C-alpha cells in the first residue's frame, strides 16, 4: 500500500488517519521516535510520510480503535497479555507456559521496546511483561514513554530482568507500582499473577 501525496510531510491527524489509529496513538508514536517528525515555527508537528509508509509496509495497518473507551467497555472475562522479550527461546517458554495454564488469556509478543510500543497502541493489553535489556528501544525507554500516557491507565506492567536492584537504580530506576521479577522467572509466581489479575478484573463485570 503506497501513500500518494504531493508533499513529503503530513499533520499528526493525517498520519493517524493513514495508519488507522487514534490521534493520541500517533502523538505517542511521534514522541517516542517511531514516526519521524519536526515542528514548524508555530509549534505544529509535521510527520514525514516516509516514516508513516515504513510502519504500514513493515507492520501492516493497525485497526482503528479508541483505546480508553473500548478498554473500559470490554467484557473483562479474559485478559490480553503483551510479552516483550528479545530472547526467542524465553519468548517461546512464556507462550508455552501460558497456553498450558488454560487461563482465558490472549498472548501478544514483541521482540524489542519499539515493537512493543506499537503493540500497546494497537492492542491495548491489560498486562505487559517486559525485559529491560533489549536492542532498538530497551525496557527503560519503553516504560518512560508510557508513563503519564493514556495507555498506562488500566495496564499493569511486570519487568522480568537479569539486572540487580543497584543496576536498575543506576539507570534511573523504575516508576512506583511496577513489579520486578528476576530471571529466570519462576513460572508458578507468574501463574499466580495471571490468576490474581483475572480475579480482580472479573469484579468489574
CA distance 96 to 87: 14
**pLDDT the model gives residue 139:** 94
Joined together, the cell numbers standing for residue 172 give 534511573
Q: How confident is the model at residue 129 (pLDDT cuts 50, 70, 90)?
A: very high
Backbone phi and psi for residue 193, each to the nearest 5 degrees, phi listed first = -65, -45
**What residue ranges define each of the domains in the chain, with the CATH number in brackets?**
9-59 (1.10.1660.10), 67-202 (3.40.50.2300)
**pLDDT the model gives residue 73:** 38
Model pLDDT for residues 89-118, shown as the tens digit of each residue: 888 889 888 888 888 989 999 999 999 999
Q: Is the pTM of this model over 0.75?
A: no
Model pLDDT for residues 7-26, shown as the tens digit of each residue: 788 999 898 888 888 887 78
Q: Is 98 exposed, middle or buried (0-12, 13-18, 19+ CB in 10 A)?
A: buried
Model pLDDT for residues 142-164, shown as the tens digit of each residue: 999 888 776 667 789 999 999 99
Amino acid at each position: 500500500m503506497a501513500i500518494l501525496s504531493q508533499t513529503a510531510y503530513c499533520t499528526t491527524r493525517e498520519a493517524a488517519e493513514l495508519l488507522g489509529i487514534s490521534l493520541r496513538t500517533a502523538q505517542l508514536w511521534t514522541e517516542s521516535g517511531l514516526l519521524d517528525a519536526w515542528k514548524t515555527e508555530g509549534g505544529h508537528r509535521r510527520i514525514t510520510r516516509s516514516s508513516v509508509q515504513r510502519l504500514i509496509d513493515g507492520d501492516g495497518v493497525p485497526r482503528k480503535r479508541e483505546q480508553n473507551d473500548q478498554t473500559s467497555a470490554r467484557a473483562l472475562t479474559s485478559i490480553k497479555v503483551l510479552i516483550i522479550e528479545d530472547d526467542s527461546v524465553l519468548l517461546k517458554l512464556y507462550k508455552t507456559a501460558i497456553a498450558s495454564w488454560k487461563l482465558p488469556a490472549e498472548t501478544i509478543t514483541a521482540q524489542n521496546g519499539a515493537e512493543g510500543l506499537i503493540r500497546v497502541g494497537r492492542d491495548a493489553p491489560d498486562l505487559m511483561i517486559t525485559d529491560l535489556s533489549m536492542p532498538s528501544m530497551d525496557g527503560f525507554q519503553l516504560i518512560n514513554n508510557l508513563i503519564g500516557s493514556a495507555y498506562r491507565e488500566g495496564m499493569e506492567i511486570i519487568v522480568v530482568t537479569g539486572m540487580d536492584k543497584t543496576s536498575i537504580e543506576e539507570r534511573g530506576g523504575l516508576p512506583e507500582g511496577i513489579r520486578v521479577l528476576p530471571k529466570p522467572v519462576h513460572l508458578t509466581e507468574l501463574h499466580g499473577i495471571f490468576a490474581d489479575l483475572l480475579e480482580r478484573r472479573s469484579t468489574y463485570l
